[in-house]
Chain A
C-alpha cells in the first residue's frame, strides 16, 4: 500500500493549489488544446509551466490530458505540444488516441503515458496491448469490477488508475457520439453536450425515457481496490469548484490514510459518505465495482441536480494576536449560525457565529454580498485556504 496515489482534477491554478493543499498526491489538468473539456478554462502553456512548478514544489505530480480522438486538422502541432509538455516537466500525459502514445515514444520524450479511460480497458489482454506500445499506466474503464482489476494488475504489472468519485457517462467512455448527432458537437474532441442527461420519448409510451446515471462513489470499496492492485484513486471533476475539490479530496485523503493506518471504522465511512453526498449535486452509488447497475443506479426524469450553498467562506488570513480570522464570503451567513471550519491540517470544529465585522471593522449582522471580506473572532488558529461551511453533520453522532 506504499505507492497509493490520490489524484485530483484541476480546472485552473487556484483549484490545482487547493487540490494539493487538501491532500492530493497528483493532479490532472488540460492545456488549451487536445483535452476532452474543450470549453473549460484550461491552462495555457505558461500556466502549465507554473502548475508544474507548484506541483513539484509540493513534491507532487501533475498529468496533462491529451485525450481527444484526433481528426486530421488537429494533428499539426501535436509534436511540438508534446515536446513542450516534456520540456516544462509534466510527469505524464493521459492519452487515448494511439497517435499520442506512439508520438511520445517516437519523439523520445521522458513523459510517461497513461492510457485514458476513453480507451475502455476492461481486460488484461487490452492492457498488454497498450503496455507493448509503451504505456506505464492504465486508467481503467469505469465498468471494471474488482475481479477485472485484479486480473489486469496480475497480468500486466502496470500501474492502475481507477475513477472513484464523480460524474460518469452512460456509455463506455469514448463509445458515444450522441452529441455529434444531436448538436453537431464532437464528443470525442471535447465538445460533448451530455445528451445522455437529456430526456427522450420511447415509442408511444407516456413516461419519458432517461438514461442519466447517478454519480460514482466508491468510498466503501477503497480498501478492496487497494488490495486488488489499484495504485491511483481518481476523482472526476475538472469543471468543479474549490469547495467541492477541497471537500472530496480531504475526505478521500482521510479515508486512504486511515486504511493505511488500519483504523478506518464503519462510523467513519458513514460520516464521510454524508459529507461527500452533501457537497455533490447528484446522488451517488458504487455503480459497476460490485455488480451491474440496475434501475436504482440511474435517474428517470433527466437532469436532477441540487444547488449546494454550504460553502460559506474561505480563509484569507488569521491574526494570532487578535484571534481574528479574515474570510472571503462565498454564501450568505449571519449572526447566530452554527458553522464549521475544515482544512488540510485542521481537525474540523464547530463554531457559533456571535459577531461579524466587515472589512472596515463595522459590526454587521449578515454577510450577504458575494465575496465580501468579513472578520470573525476565533481562538483556533486557522490558515489561508481553510474553509467555513454550514454545519450539518456531527461526527460524534456516528459513533
Chain B
C-alpha cells in the first residue's frame, strides 16, 4: 500500500495548528541545528509522536552537551533525524528507543549504500542529487521503507563559517542572518541562513518531488521554510500553490567528466 505519511519540519509555531492526518512533525533542536530560523528547546516540544531534528556536524563539546540533553528525553519524542553519524553511538550508549532516520541526503544516492546504512538505523532520506529513475530503483531495492523528498527547499551547502556575518563585517553593513544570493552565470538563486553554528544555503525554488510514489516509502519529507501555513495546507490537500518550484535533478542527470560537457 502506498503511503501518504508526511514528515514536516516545524519552521513556525502556526504549522502545529494544522489539522492534517498522517503527519509527524520534525522539530529542529535548539543549539543543534543550522539552517533554521526557528528552533525548539526540548521543553517546548509538546506534541505527540514528535521527531527531533539534529542536523549539525557536532564537535566534541557539542556532542557532550547533547548527551546530557538526550538523557532526559520526553516520551512524546519518538524519533530522531540526524546528519552526524556520531549520533548512532550516542543513542546506543544512552539506550534510547527512538526511530532513527539519517538525513545526510548528499550521500544516500544508491541502494547498496543505503542498505548498509539501514543495518544501523530505521530509515534514511533519499538524496535529491539523483534522478527519478535512480530514486525508484532505490525504493525497489531498499530493505526498509525510506523517506523521500516531497516538496522542500533543498540544503545545497553547509559551512561552519559565519559567511553572512563575515560579509557584513567586512563591508560595514548591519548584520542580518538571512539573505538571497544570486549567481549571475548560472542565474541561480540561493537562500542563505546563518546562526552561530554556521551557514546553510538552500535552493530558492522549492524542489517538487510529488510525482514520486512507491510502496516502500516511510515518510514524504517537507521542509516548508518560506511557505505559509495556508499554502502548506493547500499543498497537503493536493492543490497547486503559487511558489517558485521545479523538479531539480529528477529528470536531469548530473555529470562529472568534462568530456561530457555539452
Which A positions have Cβ atoms within 8 angstroms of B? 38-39, 69-72, 74-75, 96-99, 102, 119-120, 122-130, 141, 143-145, 147-148, 151-152, 170-172, 174-178, 180-186, 188-191, 195-196, 198, 200-203, 205, 207, 209-211, 213, 288, 292-295, 297-298, 300
Contacts and interface: CB of A to CB of B under 8 A. Distances in A.
Given A38-B256, A170-B157, A170-B159, A122 B110 contact: no
A132 to B, nearest CB: 9
Given A151-B60, A186-B254, A200-B190, 14 more contacts: A39-B258, A71-B134, A72-B110, A122-B57, A123-B59, A124-B86, A125-B85, A143-B57, A143-B59, A175-B57, A177-B157, A201-B181, A294-B166, A300-B171
A247 B184 CA distance: 38
B89 A186 contact: no
Interface residues of B, number: 65
A294 B165 CA distance: 9
Contacts of A127: 86
Nearest to A144: B59
A170 B163 contact: yes
A148 B59 contact: yes
A174 B190 CA distance: 18
Contacts of A297: 161
B169 A71 contact: no
Nearest to A195: B183
Contacts of A294: 162, 166, 169
A125 B190 CA distance: 32
Nearest to B256: A191
Given A180-B129, A185-B254, A295-B169, A211 B61 contact: no
B256 A209 contact: no
Nearest to A120: B57
Contact of A188 (B107, B162, B185): B107
A171 B159 CA distance: 4
B127 to A, nearest CB: 8
Contacts of A189: 254, 256
Interface in B191-230: 192, 201, 203
B98 interface: no
B170 interface: yes
Interface string B172-190: 0100000111111110101
A78 to B, nearest CB: 9
Contacts of B129: 177, 180, 186, 188
Contacts of A120: 57, 84
A119 B113 CA distance: 14
Contacts of B167: 202, 207, 209-210, 295, 300
Contact of B109 (A39, A69, A129, A210): A69
A38 B260 CA distance: 12
A122 B66 CA distance: 14
Contacts of B165: 295
B156 interface: yes
Given A184-B255, A205-B171, A126 B85 contact: yes
B106 A188 contact: yes
B160 A207 contact: no
Contacts of B181: 200-202, 209
B238 to A, nearest CB: 28
Contacts of A170: 157, 159, 161, 163
A388 B159 CA distance: 40
A98 B90 CA distance: 19
Given A172-B158, A207-B171, A72 B58 contact: no
Q: Most chain-B Cβ atoms within 10 A of its Cβ — which of A70, A188, A211?
A: A211
Contact of B203 (A125, A181, A183): A181
Given A198-B183, A201-B184, A203-B179, A191 B255 contact: yes
- Among A171, A174, A182, A196, residue most surrounded by chain B Cβ atoms (within 10 Å): A171
B97 interface: no
A350 B161 CA distance: 43
Contacts of A183: 186
13 contacts: A69-B107, A98-B113, A98-B116, A124-B63, A129-B86, A176-B157, A180-B249, A185-B254, A189-B254, A189-B256, A200-B184, A298-B161, A298-B166
A191 B254 contact: yes
Contact of A123 (B86, B116, B138, B203): B86
Nearest to B258: A39
Contact of B161 (A99, A207, A213, A300): A213
B88 interface: yes
A185 B62 CA distance: 34
A124 B57 contact: no
